[in-house]
Amino acid sequence: MGGTTAQPLSAGDAVLGLVIELPGNSYQLEQRLEARFGSAQFSHATAYHALKRLSKQGLIRPIEDSSPPPLSAAPPLSAPAAQSAASASPDTDVADLPATAYEATPAGIAHFRRWLRASTATPPVREELQAKIAFCGPEDLPRMVAIVREAELACAAQLEDLNQRMRRQRLLDRDDAWRRLTGMIVTAADVAWWDARIKWLQTLRQYLQREGQRYAAEQRQASSPPRD
């Protein structure tokens, strides 16, 4: 046990899985990636770059006649996305255009099946806040409380985003019982992660606040003139 190095979910695997489920262009896949794996916080134009990579590896291929696209018509790329796409590939050929729809090749499907059935390892905990708490001194406590409060607010916002995505996804999956079930389980895993984090932050904040008050009281006592 413990022999494998844990890897986070790669954008390539996620995008390949989405293409196998339903072929699509980079805009559609960007939307579906966000809806299904929003908590992974993939960066902008991730699906576009993943599609290019997967295409080069022969795991997906452009659909010859990709009009009309499988879902709904892809709106034009937003300015940053278009800029990002253009800057990423100066020698863009037809297959690299954002509106091109892709489907999986037999090699891509086989690759994905191998990934799906391979064991996964437990990811390491590399939490910056934990390290900050570990290294802080009593004089840093007020700032640490503020940082924890910010983190708690950010988590609540993430939870709201997740809930919003979940509501959207339920609408999309309403006619697919299996997808609804797996969606619910995956959302529950995301929610459990945020739940644990918020609760940890809440406990931490209260603990740091108590310690901060105790430290401030000690400081006041130490600086007051001694009584005769």
- Name the DSSP class of 24: B
The yes or no reply on residue 179 touching another protein (CB under 8 A) is: no
Q: How far is CA 97 from CA 3, 19, 25, 94, in A?
A: 41, 16, 9, 6
182 sits near another protein (criterion: CB under 8 A)? no
The residues facing 103 across adjacent strands are: 61
73 burial type by CB count under 10 A (0-12 exposed, 13-18 middle, 19+ buried): exposed
**Of the candidates 15, 19, 26, 28, which one interacts with another protein according to CB under 8 A?**
28
Chain centroid, CA 164 distance in Å: 15
Does the protein bind another protein through residue 133 (CB under 8 A)? no
Among 192, 214, 218, 219, binds another protein (CB under 8 A): 192
Contact call for residue 174 and another protein (CB under 8 A): yes
Compare residues 99 and 198 and give the one whose CB is closer to another protein. 198
Q: How far is the CB of 157 from another protein (least distance, A)?
A: 5
Q: Maximum distance among all alpha carbons in the chain? A: 94
Contact pick of 72, 119, 122, 224 for another protein (by CB under 8 A): 72
Using the minimum distance from each CB to another protein, give the nearer residue, 56 or 174.
174
Question: Is 89 near another protein (CB under 8 A)?
Answer: no
Beta bridge pairs of residue 102: 24, 62
Distant-in-sequence, close-in-space partners of 10: CB < 8 Å, separation ≥ 6: none
Q: Out of 61, 132, 168, 179, which residue is the one contacting another protein (CB under 8 A)?
A: 168
Q: Is residue 143 a contact point for another protein (CB under 8 A)?
A: no
| CA angle, 75 then 77 then 82, to 5° | 165
Binding site for another protein (CB under 8 A): 28, 31, 71-75, 149, 152-153, 155-157, 159-160, 163-164, 166-168, 171-172, 174, 184-185, 187-188, 191-192, 194-195, 198-199, 202-203, 205-206, 209
